Structure 1
Amino acid sequence: MPDRTDPSPPPRTELDQLRASDRIFHALLDNAPILISTKDLQGNITMANRHFDILDGYDPANFVGANVFELFPREIAEQLWRNDRTAALEKRAVQEEETVYHRDKTLHTYMTVKFPLLDDDGRVYATCAVSTDITDTKAAQFDSVTDELTGLKNRRYLNIRFGEEQKRARRDQRLLTLLLIDVDRFKEYNDSYGHPQGDQVLKAVADAMRRALNRPGDLCFRIGGDEFACLFASNNADESQALAERIRADVAARRIPHRGNPPDGHVSLSLGLAFVAPDATLSQQEIYEQADQALYRAKHKGRNTVSR
């Protein structure tokens, strides 16, 4: 007689296993707090998980089957479709930041991985996108490297970017410039006019820096107190000095009263330049020391000047 006490379940059929896998797959799609979708090669949505209902204008009845350019504002649709096309044409995974609007009309940034889907013959027939909301992470990163008063980046960000910019300048065969800036006799200004007015002076200096250095790749920093720095590439030292002179002249032209800063009696700046040639092997500390020495020379010359 068969042993009816055997507790082991009967073997599962292949169909049972497929059904279980399908249930797990749909559970993941329905509950994962990420955006998962597929598009055909014409940009039509062929699948989207439930989390898409967080997006502005999402309509579950009409989302799947619609084209990306029908669903999103054109500038957003273009960036989404560009990354899909890259993944399809180059047959590789593409990782890019993409932006979309949520239902509350706020703009969110997603880190998206897009990859091609291949048929049995190895031909691309669609792309799949998996997107994670990184808006809060980016905001925290921005706050950690941004000076609250002036909106400029801080010393920490200077340290992060210096090596990257040095490599970029070397690759482009351009001169990398580190510019250090001090407000002349700033302690005396705060003593005479108060710290709230001193804050306004610092904001004015930041504004002058942004006006002079507004090209792609120009970087401006407040590195502490009344100390500022700029990092930028140029064709030669004279071009760099001219940009520094624009900052000095801009602040001088504002004619902010400073009776403790003779002989002119207005807020002024001292500026020091250091240069990194494409073939230079100097460390960041060595370059900073050179700029600091140039700044000292500017102060020794009587302030309100640019030195190198």
Structure 2
Amino acid sequence: MEQKIILVIDDEPTNIAIVTELLNSLYQIRVSTNGKNALEIVSKEKPDLILLDISMPQMNGYEVADKLKSSVKTSNIPFIFLTAKNDSQSMIEGFFKGAVDYISKPFSKEELLARVETHLKLNELQNSLKETVDEVAHYLELMDQNIISSSTDLEGIITNVSTAFCNICGFSKEELITKSHDIVKHEDMQKEIYDDLWKTINQNLVWKGELKNKKKDGTSYWVDITIYPDFDKTSGEKIGYTSIRHDISDKKRIEELSIHDELTKLYNRRHFNKVLHDEINRAKRDKKILSFMMLDVDYFKLYNDNYGHQQGDNVLSETGKVLTSYCKRAGDFAFRLGGEEFGIIFSEVTKEESKNYANAIKKAIENLRIPHIKNPISGVITISIGLLSIFPNEKISENEIYKKTDDLLYKAKESGRNTVCSN
């Protein structure tokens, strides 16, 4: 192990010789007979400990101590006053100047060795502690800048947020702290998700899931979130919650592209299969009527033949916009099933309300007043709709639901089109 460096400052060569002889075998010794020269030595080579006399000409020990403490580079070097001044006032002044110890001359060999070794160890421990604290502070800063985290009280009121949280949502810490976490809650998220979240954490369990959040500017982002209950270290009482988030917006964008129709922006057939399965189970669990309507643009092939495929795509796009405008509730899902065929899954309404809903959509499409001279019904774009309502206790498979609705759509077309045919 490399030896520690000790600087001895004393204007009496005899005193320096005595101290050097005692310490030379254990430490690297540097010496100086005046304060000015000592400060020059310190500026070039930082010692681990300084033994400093008080009574020196030109610059006394107190003045040297002031110089050491006034510089950032030398302020943390420990020094011991080693002096013949043994009155209490000198000792008090010495500690006031920042000395870590005070040794009066004459001193014993054992005392000097013990105190020097003690303060070298203390300084090493302090430096090690400072390095640890600095390292922890560095990692805490990295975490604050890069980990999207927040803490709340038991009611969901924000008590602390990381800088990364502010960066992703656009709110400042001042705008977030003391506010409800609902400030970033997105209205697209279903109530059932938050019900499950609160049920879980109220039982002192960890909740994990994906949430769509809202930024200050109204845009959205997605996070993978884990929420932990926080407990008081002394009483063990629950005091709040801490959440750690991971930005998954890019992942969600890719997922969104994979389940959406590029032209109409509606869900595609692939996603329809999943949603139908999930909604059947949810309707049975909640004992709600589940409805599925399938609609088709009347005489669409004739429209394409007459107006061209570009105009045909415009019709499909406009149809998609109408369906989107009518699917605002959490349990409403609109799909492009293929070609000019669309579908909507919805629930929590009666059969009569379902038919009124379907007729409203049919009327909204007709009210677009898109010319279609090959449509003998009205001369504008119209749609036909098959509507199936499924009761909670009804045993029916997903394939049967699709086939029965398709049959109803066929009947609507056979009945003259621009109409709704339901079960």
Q: Shorter chain as normaliser: what TM range?
A: 0.7 to 0.9
Cα shift readout 1:8-56 (whole Å, capped 9, x = no counterpart): xxxxxxx9xx9899899777655564334556777433x85x7568454
Per the alignment, residue 176 of structure 1 pairs with 290
Q: Is 1:110 paired with 2:223?
A: yes
Q: Which of 371, 387, 408 lines up with 1:294 in the alignment?
A: 408
Deviation at 1:113, TM superposition (A): 1.5
- 1:254 is paired with a residue whose SS is coil
Q: Is 1:94 paired with 2:202?
A: no
The question of whether the paired residues in 2 share the 8 Å contact of 1:177 and 1:233 is answered with yes
Deviation at 1:273, TM superposition (A): 1.5
Whole-Å separation in 2 of the counterparts to 1:176 and 1:77: 27
- 2:254 is paired with a residue whose SS is helix
Q: Is 1:76 paired with 2:189?
A: no
Q: Is 1:269 paired with 2:377?
A: no
Count of aligned positions:
281
Per the alignment, residue 146 of structure 1 pairs with 260
* Segment drifting more, 255-264 vs 120-129: 120-129
Q: Please give the residue correspondences for 1:1-308 in structure 2 after superposition, counting only pairs within 5 Å.
A: 29=140, 31=142, 33-36=146-149, 38=151, 43-45=158-160, 48=162, 51=164, 54-55=167-168, 56=170, 68-69=176-177, 75-76=183-184, 90-95=203-208, 97=211, 99=213, 101=215, 107-118=220-231, 119-125=233-239, 127-308=241-422
The question of whether the paired residues in 1 share the 8 Å contact of 2:159 and 2:178 is answered with no
The question of whether the paired residues in 2 share the 8 Å contact of 1:57 and 1:71 is answered with no
For residues 137 and 291 of structure 1, do their structure 2 counterparts lie closer, same or farther at Cα, with a shift above 3 Å needed? same
Give the TM-score taking structure 2 as reference length.
0.56
Q: Report which structure shows greater RCO (CA 8 Å, sep ≥6).
A: 1
Cα shift readout 1:75-123 (whole Å, capped 9, x = no counterpart): 23999xx999988754332335263659x99753322222123325422
The question of whether the paired residues in 2 share the 8 Å contact of 1:258 and 1:266 is answered with yes
The question of whether the paired residues in 2 share the 8 Å contact of 1:213 and 1:243 is answered with no
The gaps in structure 1 that reach 5 residues or longer are 1-14
Whole-Å separation in 2 of the counterparts to 1:238 and 1:40: 46
Deviation at 1:275, TM superposition (A): 2.1
For residues 115 and 98 of structure 1, do their structure 2 counterparts lie closer, same or farther at Cα, with a shift above 3 Å needed? farther
Per the alignment, residue 108 of structure 2 pairs with none
Per the alignment, residue 11 of structure 1 pairs with none
The question of whether the paired residues in 1 share the 8 Å contact of 2:185 and 2:212 is answered with no
Give the TM-score taking structure 1 as reference length.
0.74
Whole-Å separation in 1 of the counterparts to 2:334 and 2:327: 8
Whole-Å separation in 1 of the counterparts to 2:310 and 2:393: 45
Whole-Å separation in 2 of the counterparts to 1:212 and 1:57: 32
For residues 109 and 22 of structure 1, do their structure 2 counterparts lie closer, same or farther at Cα, with a shift above 3 Å needed? farther
Deviation at 1:132, TM superposition (A): 0.7
Say what the alpha-carbon RMSD is for the aligned residues: 3.9
1:93 maps to a residue whose letter is V
* Segment drifting more, 285-294 vs 131-140: 131-140
Deviation at 1:262, TM superposition (A): 1.6
2:205 maps to a residue whose letter is R
Whole-Å separation in 1 of the counterparts to 2:325 and 2:219: 29
- 1:182 is paired with a residue whose SS is strand
Whole-Å separation in 2 of the counterparts to 1:273 and 1:77: 34
The gaps in structure 2 that reach 5 residues or longer are 1-124, 188-193
The question of whether the paired residues in 2 share the 8 Å contact of 1:37 and 1:128 is answered with yes
Deviation at 1:135, TM superposition (A): 1.1
Deviation at 1:258, TM superposition (A): 1.4
The question of whether the paired residues in 1 share the 8 Å contact of 2:291 and 2:345 is answered with yes
> Quick check: which has more Rg, 1 or 2?
2
2:253 maps to a residue whose letter is A
